Structure 1
Amino acid sequence: MATLATKPQRSDGQVLSSAIAKIADFWGFSNPKLGQVLGLSPATVSRLKGGKTLLDPASKSFEAGQFLLRLFRGLDALMGSDDLASRRWLETPNLDLDARPLDLIDSFKGLITVCDYVDAHRARV
């Protein structure tokens, strides 16, 4: 009887850290910008992107990363997987939010506000 080879399970920290690094690349976030969003230093972000450190599931940075992933997925659905359109949406002043979403996501409260806004618009589609 043959046994199936199984892949080792990746931890939540590995999965989210990898996803956040990819989002930062898609959206062109610098290490300082991503650090601001996650509440990490640019050096820590550099190690995160290089796979040398992971987000700790018990940390506020992990929670911010989850919201950033939620925002990415929401915009991806709204923009039809067009990363450039998502980036332009983030950079454009939004009258409803009274700011550029890109600026708002630098704070945890702003990140949640932008996520809620995108989720509300997804619900209408």
Structure 2
Amino acid sequence: MATSAPALHDPDAPRVLSEAVGRIAAFWQLSNAQAGAIIGVSGPTMSRLRAGQYRLEPGSKPFELAQHLLRLFRSVDSWLGQDDGSARSWLATPNLDLGERPLDLIATVRGLLRTSDYVDALRARI
């Protein structure tokens, strides 16, 4: 996925980020409830977002969390060589370093940030 993180001042940011979140949810096969929990919206709101009937608003918590989700997606995508199956497997498998499944962790702000930092650290290894 070649979407760059949209800037707050970009008038297309709500559309771009909302579409990116919908694509991430599809690639990772997340339910509306799972994806909504990650970015802080309800399952029905996530359903509307995926259908293009709702857009994330710059400056809102869901917008910020969606930016972090996009960061995590891009890091995992880069780390695993754009293998969506491997990414889904990694998310669903208990991780000894993190102490639980990444999919369970990213449903909280702290877990999302911690998981992103973890993947970034893995990518930085030489």
Tell me how far apart the structure 1 counterparts of residues 11 and 70 of structure 2 sit (CA, whole Å).
Answer: 17
Which residue in 2 is equivalent to 1:13?
14
Partner amino acid, structure 1, of 2:101: R
Which structure would you say has the larger Rg? 1
Which residue in 1 is equivalent to 2:57?
56
Which stretches in structure 1 are left out of the alignment for 5+ residues? 1-8
Which residue in 2 is equivalent to 1:6?
none
Which stretches in structure 2 are left out of the alignment for 5+ residues? 1-9
C-alpha deviation, 1:58, in angstroms: 1.0
Instruction: Give deviations 1:91-116, integer Å, cap 9, x for gaps.
Output: 11111100100000000110000000
Tell me how far apart the structure 2 counterparts of residues 42 and 103 of structure 1 sit (CA, whole Å).
Answer: 16
Which residue in 2 is equivalent to 1:113?
114
C-alpha deviation, 1:10, in angstroms: 5.9
Tell me how far apart the structure 1 counterparts of residues 93 and 42 of structure 2 sit (CA, whole Å).
Answer: 26
Tell me how far apart the structure 2 counterparts of residues 111 and 24 of structure 1 sit (CA, whole Å).
Answer: 15
Which residue in 1 is equivalent to 2:84?
83
Instruction: Give deviations 1:62-89, integer Å, cap 9, x for gaps.
Output: 1110111111100111111000100100
Tell me how far apart the structure 2 counterparts of residues 11 and 92 of structure 1 sit (CA, whole Å).
Answer: 35
Which residue in 2 is equivalent to 1:22?
23
Partner amino acid, structure 2, of 1:100: R
Tell me how far apart the structure 2 counterparts of residues 113 and 15 of structure 1 sit (CA, whole Å).
Answer: 25
Structure 2 matches for 1:21-40, cutoff 5 A?
21-40=22-41
Question: Runs (4+) of structure 1 moved beyond 4 Å?
Answer: none
Partner amino acid, structure 2, of 1:44: T
Tell me how far apart the structure 2 counterparts of residues 30 and 94 of structure 1 sit (CA, whole Å).
Answer: 21
Residues paired across the two proteins, number: 117
